[in-house]
Structure 1
Amino acid sequence: MIKNHKLLIDQHCPMCAAYGSTFTKLNMVDGNTIDPYQIIDEEHTQHIDMHRATNEIALHNTQTKETKYGLDAMFHIVSQGQQWIKDILYFPLFFIPLKYLYKLITYNRKVIVGDTSFHKGERACNPDRNLFYRSLFIGLSAWFTAVVLNSYFGLVGQYFGFESPWYVEYFICFGQIAWQGIMIQFIAPKNGWDYLGNMSAVSALGGILLLPVLLLTSFVTLSGYALLGIFGLVVGVMLMEHVRRCKSMQLGWWPTISWVLYRNLVLVLFTLMILL
């Protein structure tokens, strides 16, 4: 168990809170190790790069005053001083993909959870806006959603006796980014990247919610009407989450109106394509 350390986490980030709690429950760190970035005592902050700590978790040794960041902090906790575990974790085949995955998550953690909360009297723990990792997140979310929708509507098509080209869902998902990207430039250009990140998180949420249904269809046959009904419920959840995030960002109703308009246009075009 690691003692005499302070692990700084974003207290408004559910993912940060989850792994902090996990480390404590698994007895990897003692009960005094986890400290919110927002309210940690200044006696510790003077030995920590507080800006870097907004992008990478910081593990501060209160005795030696040394601070580790990001994966180095994670690996120090997980290895518990065992060199052979460190050798495995730092092996390039594992370390390089984990490094990019960590950065993808940490630079996008606010848009992933849809959090813009800030309380007076505490430090703001907002990661830098890294356009490379934000663009990567937006692109991967669109790709993931398209893959799920391609499989899902493949089942719907089989039931009703029609087949759409494989690229339709990809065109829809990436087209939505372009559509909403143009729209947000007229409404709130300064919030463009944050909005597109949140919108992409909503799309990915829809894909995640449909995955159990796809798994279920491997064991149970669902009618096309049932699949469409479930899809409608998922879209409803996505709509409510989209509204919540827009409200949190103080963007008003126009992004949601545009979001709904795009989906209705897609539905009309898709219907015409089937009929023709």
Structure 2
Amino acid sequence: MKTLENQTLLYDEDCPLCQVYTTGFIKAKMLDENGRKSYCQLDENEQTFVDINRASNEIALIDNKNQTVLYGIDSLLKVLGFSFPLIEKIGNIKPVKFFLKKLYSFVSYNRKVIIPSKINTAAKLQCVPNFNYKYRFLFIGFATVMTTIVLYNYSFLIPSLPKASITREFMIAIGQLFFQSLFLLKSDRKTILNYSGNLMTVSLMGSLLLLPILAFQTVVTISVNTSLIWFVLTAFIMFMEHYRRIKILQLPTYLCITWVVYRLIVLLLILNF
């Protein structure tokens, strides 16, 4: 494995994914021991040639010798391409690079709703991405669609419930967003959309927890009781994660109560209509 020397990746220390892949680059000796640095630890000299705002949105690769910087997909392709030239070559094909840039932006602009973290008020620099309405709505839409598909398929494992439809599951997911937003009407749009992103991350997480049962069902018969117990356990985990995120976002805890109330209302409607 060839080592790219005198290059430093700036990473978001509050982002577990960023920590994992930058650490991986060093352990794989794709970067030297000084190959990564927390964004918050940028010194005054580095701030003269690093675009601080852009680096909070796109991971930056600093050439320490020439004091030049690459951002986002370009920085990752350079690190990977130094050891695997074919990856860099393929990644720089225009349609491929266009897709990679969009995918990177989708994840980067939403990373604080995918994995929220408390703001460190003591730090002079905060590695917080700019608020991007387009990518936030895309993430909410993606999470809604995935949740709808999984819940629709999972509903067939609990035959005691009325037959589900894609439309019903989609309306339930969208309805939760609007219902919860009613209790944040006094907040600004960014606060509501930040919460909505976190809310749909919780729903997406719940859907991922249901996937193992759906997968096992294709090879063995899963009992109704097992499916129901797993669903209840998943709902409890979702509630606890929702509560944790409410604390991080410093939002009213009654949102946890309304989260439960909405689901009880939906359950009653499903059972009676």
TM-score scaled by length of structure 2: 0.94
Alpha-carbon displacement from aligned partner over 1:75-110 (angstroms, at most 9, x marks no partner): 011100765432211223322222111101000101
CA contact (8 A) 1:71 1:99 kept: yes
Residues 131-164 of structure 1 show CA distances to partners (whole Å, capped at 9, x for unaligned) of: 000010011001101111011012222xx48522
Contact 1:188–1:251 at 8 Å: present in 2 too?
Answer: no
1:57 aligned onto 2:43: no
Deviates more, 1:95-104 or 1:130-139: 95-104
Percent identical pairs in the alignment equals 34
**Which residue number corresponds to residue 197 of structure 1?**
197
**Local SS of the residue matching 1:51:** helix
The answer to whether the 8 A contact 2:152-2:164 is kept is no
- Summarize the Cα distance change of 1:145–1:161 in structure 2 as closer, same or farther, 3 Å threshold: closer
- Aligned equivalent of 1:22: 24
Query: Shift in Å at residue 246 of structure 1?
Result: 0.5
Q: How far apart are the structure 2 equivalents of 1:170 and 1:79?
A: 42
- Name the counterpart of 2:234: 234
Q: CA offsets per residue over residues 183-242 of structure 1, 9 Å max, x none?
A: 222466551111111111111110111111111112221111211111110010000010
String of CA shifts for 1:55-86, please: whole Å, max 9, x gaps.
00000101111100000001011100765432
Q: Is the 8 A contact 1:44 1:62 kept in 2?
A: no
- In the alignment, the residues of structure 1 paired with residue 111 and residue 158 of structure 2 have an alpha-carbon distance, to the nearest angstrom, of 34
Alignment map for 1:146-157 (pairs within 5 Å): 146-157=148-159
User: Partner residue of 1:114?
Assistant: 116
Residue 122 of structure 1 and its aligned partner are, at CA, apart by: 4.1
Q: Corresponding residue for 2:248? A: 248
Structure 2 residue aligned with 1:143: 145
**1:145 alignment partner AA:** T
Which residues of structure 2 form unaligned runs of 5+? Answer: none
Q: In structure 1, how many angstroms separate the alpha carbons of the residues matched to 2:252 and 2:117?
A: 16
1:67 is aligned to 2:80: no
Query: 1:100 matched to which residue of 2?
Result: 102
- Do the aligned partners of 1:55 and 1:107 also contact (CA within 8 Å) in 2? yes
Q: Any idea what the Cα deviations from partners look like across 1:44-65, whole Å, max 9, x if unmatched? A: 2221001110000000101111
Cα distance, 1:40 vs. partner?
A: 2.6
Measured in 2, the distance between the counterparts of 1:216 and 1:106 equals 33
Query: TM-score, normalising length from structure 1?
Result: 0.93
Cα contact 1:202–1:241 (8 A) shared by 2: yes
Gaps of 5+ in 1: none
Contact kept, 8 Å, 2:57 with 2:108, in 1: the verdict is yes
**Alignment correspondent of 1:42:** 44
The amino acid of 1:198's aligned partner reads N
CA distance in 1 between partners of 2:161 and 2:191 (Å):
43
Any conservation in 1 of the 2:30–2:83 contact (CA below 8 Å)?
Answer: no
RMSD: 1.7
Partners of 1:144 and 1:204 within 8 A in 2: yes
Provide the C-alpha distance between the structure 2 equivalents of 1:84 and 1:117, rounded to a whole number of angstroms: 39
The whole-number CA distance in structure 1 between the counterparts of 2:86 and 2:162 is 56
Question: 1:163 — aligned with what?
Answer: 163
